[in-house]
Structure 1
Amino acid sequence: HFALEKAFKISSVEKLRGMKTQIKELKLKINEVEDELVNKEQISIKGLHVLCLVHNVSITYIYGKQYCEFFYGDTVKGIIQRNEKKEHSLLYEDTLLETIKQTHWFIENVQKWVLLDNQLKLVNEKTKNQILHRELDFKPGDSVAINSLEARLEYNRRKLMNTNLFIWVKADLNQLPNGHLKISFEFLEQWYILGYPIFQLADRNLNDWWSRGHDLNRSIYGIHFIHNNFQGRNEKLTIKAETGFTQRLDFTYSNPYLDKKKTLGLSFNTSYSTSKSFPYKTRNDTLQYLTDEKILRERWAGGITLRKRFKFYDFQTLELKYTHTIISDTVVKLNPNYFSLNAKEQNFTQLLYTYSYDFRDLIAYPLRGRKFDISINKVGILPSDHVDFW
C-alpha cells in the first residue's frame, strides 16, 4: 500500500515542521475514499497528494477526476468534485462544504491555518480583560491563517491602543508543543486620574480683553478633574468647577459597555452656571456688559447619550439634552428681546443623532486611515420649547 511519506513534498514538510499534527486516522480515511473511487475506475492511486495537514485538519487532493476530501479530527466532512472547467459539485452534504462552495473556494487557494491556544494572555493591572477582548477580532480556540497573522495582530494592537487606556501595547506570539499558538498582549497603562487648573479670559479674545481694561477680574479659573477607566471598564468621570467672572459646575459620567456583547454605551451629564456680569446686547457690533451684585443669568442643562457600536469602527449615537435659562428683571428691562418679548425664561430640548466611521491607525496622532461623521440636530422637539430649528 502507498506510504504517507510519499504524499508529502519536502517543501511542504519543512513548512509544517514543528506543528506536530495528529494523523493517526488519516490513512484509514484515505483508504475508504480510495476504494470507492478506484472501484469506479476514476483515478489512480499514484495521483494522491496531501497538500495541507495542520491541526487535525487535512485536505487530500486527487488528480484525474480531481477530488478534494476534508477532514476535521476523526470526522470526514465530505467530498468536493471539480471538473476540468474548475466547476465544483458536492458529493456529500455538509455545512462546512456549503460555506466553502458559497465563497467560491478553490483548491489552489489553500491556506495553512493554526489554532489559537485557550490561554489568550492579557497582561495589565486595572483594565478588565473582557474590555480588551471586545477589541480583538479573534478569541481562544479560533483558527487563523498563517500568511495574514502578522498583519492581523498589528490591526488588533492598534485597536487596543485606540481605547486611549494605554501608553503602549505590545503583541507577542509563541508556539506551543502541540503546535497551537499562544497570543499575549502586554500593556503600559496610562495614569488614569488627572487634575489640572483652568484659567481663561471671559472675553472673546485677548484684544477684546485688553480693550476692556485688561482686568484680571474678567477671567475664569478653576479645576478640571478626570478619572478615566473608573472601575476598569473604560468608564470616564469628569468634574469641572469654575469661578471668577462666571461660576460653573459640570459633571459627566460615561460607560461605553453596558451589555454583555460590549456594543451598547450610555453617558449622562449635567451642568449649572451663574453670571453676575454678562453681555446683554450689542451696540455698533460691540458687546455691552451688565454687572450687578445679584445673579443676572442662571442656567441648568442636562443630557443623556446612548451609543451603539457596530463591529469595530462604526458608531451611532443618540443624544437628548435639555436646557433651562433664567435672566433677571434688570436684563429684561434693558433688553426686552433678549429671549423674546419680555420673557425671563427660555427652555428647549434638542435631539442629536450622529453616525461615525473611524478607521485610523492611531486616534491620538493619526498618520493614515479615514474618518467620516454625519450629524442631524433638532433643537426644539417639545411644544413648550421656546426654540425651534434644525
Structure 2
Amino acid sequence: MKIGSVKSIIALVLIALFCGNLSAQNLLKIRKIEVSGNSKTKEEIILRELNFKLKDSLSATDIEKYIEKSKQNLINTNLFLTVNILYNSSDQFIDVYIALKERWYLVVLPEVLLADRSFNEWWYERNRDLTRLTYGINAKHFNLSGNNDQLKAKIMGGFIPYFELSYAKPYIDKRKRIGIRTGVFYSTQRTMAYRTWNDKLDFFVSEKRMRERKGAIFELRLRNALYHFHAINLGYTNTTLADTITRLNPNYFETNTNNQEVFSFTYDYRFDQRDNRQYPLKGRLLYTQLSNFYVKGGYNQTNIFGLYSLFQPLKKSLFWESSARVKFSNPKKQYYPLISGLGYSNNLVRGYELYVIDGQHYGLWKNTLKYELLKKEFNLKKFIKLSQFSTLPLAIYPNAYFDIGYIKNYYPIYSNSKLSNKLLKGGGFGLDIVTWYNSNVKMYYSINQMGERKFFFGISRDI
C-alpha cells in the first residue's frame, strides 16, 4: 500500500473520531428529574407524560424541543392549571425541575341543561321555553386516587330525568399503557323527537312517559405511545317506546315492536399531537372509528368515521385551522335512532345549526382563520384565596370561517329532506373567549347558501 493511501486512511479515522467526540460532547445525560406542586397527583403519572426519562441522553440543541413537548403533554392531562419546566445543564449532565399548580379536582355543582341539541335550537326553534330544562346535580372527581382516574355521577330531573354513574382509570398495568372505563345510565322522556321532518326535529308533546332508556358500557383503552390512543368499547342499550311513538313513526324501530335491545362494538384510534386539546392552535389530530350495532332480532349496522384536523400558526398571532371528516354506513335503510347525519355536536356546516340532516354517508370540510387579540393571565390572589382559582387566564380570538359539506340520504322521503343529496356551504365571523378550566365561549354570525343569516352562541367547559 502506498504511503499516501495510508496517510489518507489515518486522516479519515482521526476525523471520524474527532466528530464522534464532538457528538458525544453535545449529548447531555439526564441526572435528575424533580417534581413539585403535585400534592394529589402521583409522580409516575407526571413522568409518564414526559418525552424523556431519567438517564436518557439528549442533544443540547434539542433540549428546548423536548421540554416544550413534555409541557404540552402535561397540560393536556387536564390535571394542572399551570406547568413550568426548567433545567440546569453542565458539560455532561442536565437536571430537570417541573413546577405544577394542580386543578380543583372535586366539582359538585347544580347543573341546568337544555333538552335540545344546542342553545341555538332552544333559542330560535323552541321559543326559549323554560320547561325544556333538565336540572340536577353533576358531581365529578377528576383525580380520585391521584392516578388521573375519574369518577362521575349525574342525577337530573326536569324535561329529561336522567341518572349516570361512570368510572375511568387511564392505567391499570405496571407499564402504564392499558386503562379502563365503565358506566351505567337510565333516562325517561315524555316529550320527545319521534322523527326528522323538513330537516328539523319533530317533537310529540305529552305528559305521559313516551320513552325509557337504560344501558351500560365497558371500555378497554391502550396508549402504546405518547400520542397514540386506542379504545375498544362494548355497550348495551335497552329502549322502550309508548305505542303512540311507533304509530306516529313506523320507521322508528322498523319492526312491529315497542322495545329494542342494541349491542354495540366500537374501536377508536386517535393520533393526537395538538398543543391544547380543548383549544388547539398548533398540531394535528387523526381520529378513526369503526362501530357495529347489533339489534336483537337480526339487524346489523356498521359505521366508519374518519377525521383529520390540522392546526397551523401562520405568523405571530395568526392561526389557521382545517378539519376534514367523512362517514360511511351500511345498510342503506336504517332504524331512526341509529341514523346519524349532520347537525349533532360539531358535525355540521356552520350556518346550518338549526337543521338536522339525516343520511347514511357524509363529507365535511371546515376551515377557520383566527387572530390572537389577547392572551394574558390575571392575578386574583387579593380577591380569591383558593390557589386553584386565583389565576384568571383569558384569551380572545376573533375569527372567520368557511365550511362545505355533503350528505347522502337514500331515503329522503322519510324525512322530507330538502338539504340532503346536495352541496352545502356556509361561513361567517366569530369571537372565541377562552378562560378558566378551558371554558370556551363562542359567539359567531353565520350565513348559509340559502341566504339565512343568524347570530349563534355556544359554550363548552372542562368542569
Bigger share in helix: 1
1:121: which partner in 2? Answer: 34
With the length of structure 1 as denominator, give the TM-score of the two structures: 0.66
Instruction: Give distance in 2, aligned partners of 1:260 and 1:221.
Output: 41
Name the stretch that deviates more: 141-150 or 246-255.
Answer: 141-150
Aligned positions of 1:81-96 closer than 5 A: 82=13
Return the match for 2:83 from 141, 148, 169.
169
Instruction: Give distance in 2, aligned partners of 1:108 and 1:141.
Output: 20
1:221: which partner in 2? Answer: 135
1:296: which partner in 2? Answer: 210
Instruction: Give distance in 2, aligned partners of 1:174 and 1:292.
Output: 68
1:180: which partner in 2? Answer: 93
How far apart are 1:323 and its partner, in Å? 0.8
Tell me which amino acid in the other structure corresponds to 1:208: E
2:109: which partner in 1? Answer: 196
Return the match for 1:359 from 266, 273, 278.
273
How far apart are 1:368 and its partner, in Å? 1.2
How far apart are 1:360 and its partner, in Å? 1.7
Secondary structure, aligned partner of 1:125: coil
Secondary structure, aligned partner of 2:273: strand
Secondary structure, aligned partner of 1:299: strand
Tell me which amino acid in the other structure corresponds to 2:184: T
Task: For residues 143-200 of structure 1, give each alpha carbon's deviation from its aligned partner in whole angstroms, at most 9, with x where no partner exists.
Answer: 2222222222222222222211111111122358x96332120100111112333323
Instruction: Give distance in 1, aligned partners of 2:223 and 2:258.
Output: 41
Q: 1:66 to 1:161 in 2, by over 3 A?
A: farther
Query: Between Structure 1 and Structure 2, whose CA radius of gyration is higher?
Result: 1
Name the stretch that deviates more: 201-210 or 228-237.
Answer: 201-210
How far apart are 1:83 and its partner, in Å? 9.6
2:58: which partner in 1? Answer: 144
Tell me which amino acid in the other structure corresponds to 1:357: F
Contact 2:35-2:97 within 8 A present in 1 as well: yes
Tell me which amino acid in the other structure corresponds to 1:184: Y
Q: 1:283 to 1:360 in 2, by over 3 A?
A: closer
1:266: which partner in 2? Answer: 180
1:388: which partner in 2? Answer: 301
1:208 aligns with 2:121: no
Task: For residues 251-285 of structure 1, give each alpha carbon's deviation from its aligned partner in whole angstroms, at most 9, with x where no partner exists.
Answer: 22111111111111111121100123334457887
Aligned positions of 1:308-319 closer than 5 A: 308-319=222-233
Q: 1:286 to 1:357 in 2, by over 3 A?
A: closer
1:72: which partner in 2? Answer: none
Secondary structure, aligned partner of 2:110: strand
Instruction: Give distance in 1, aligned partners of 2:240 and 2:280.
Output: 43
Tell me which amino acid in the other structure corresponds to 1:347: E
Contact 1:114-1:144 within 8 A present in 2 as well: yes
Provide the aligned length of Structure 1 versus Structure 2. 295
Instruction: Give distance in 2, aligned partners of 1:217 and 1:227.
Output: 30
Q: 1:342 to 1:373 in 2, by over 3 A?
A: same
Return the match for 2:220 from 306, 318, 331.
306
1:277: which partner in 2? Answer: 191
Q: Quote the sequence identity (%).
A: 31
Name the stretch that deviates more: 273-282 or 305-314.
Answer: 273-282
Contact 1:281-1:287 within 8 A present in 2 as well: yes
RMSD: 3.4
Secondary structure, aligned partner of 2:46: helix
Instruction: Give distance in 2, aligned partners of 1:145 and 1:269.
Output: 45
2:202: which partner in 1? Answer: 287
Instruction: Give distance in 1, aligned partners of 2:102 and 2:179.
Output: 22
Tell me which amino acid in the other structure corresponds to 1:254: A
Tell me which amino acid in the other structure corresponds to 1:170: N
**Structure 1: any 5+ residue segments left out of the alignment?**
1-41, 44-62, 68-80, 89-104
1:66 aligns with 2:10: yes
2:46: which partner in 1? Answer: 132
2:238: which partner in 1? Answer: 324
1:33: which partner in 2? Answer: none
Q: 1:366 to 1:286 in 2, by over 3 A?
A: closer
Instruction: Give distance in 2, aligned partners of 1:183 and 1:288.
Output: 59
Instruction: Give distance in 1, aligned partners of 2:276 and 2:140.
Output: 22
How far apart are 1:338 and its partner, in Å? 3.8
How far apart are 1:334 and its partner, in Å? 5.8
With the length of structure 2 as denominator, give the TM-score of the two structures: 0.56
Secondary structure, aligned partner of 1:156: helix
Q: 1:109 to 1:237 in 2, by over 3 A?
A: same
Q: 1:155 to 1:277 in 2, by over 3 A?
A: closer
Instruction: Give distance in 2, aligned partners of 1:316 and 1:190.
Output: 26
Contact 1:347-1:387 within 8 A present in 2 as well: no
Instruction: Give distance in 2, aligned partners of 1:113 and 1:126.
Output: 34
Secondary structure, aligned partner of 2:161: strand
Q: 1:160 to 1:202 in 2, by over 3 A?
A: closer
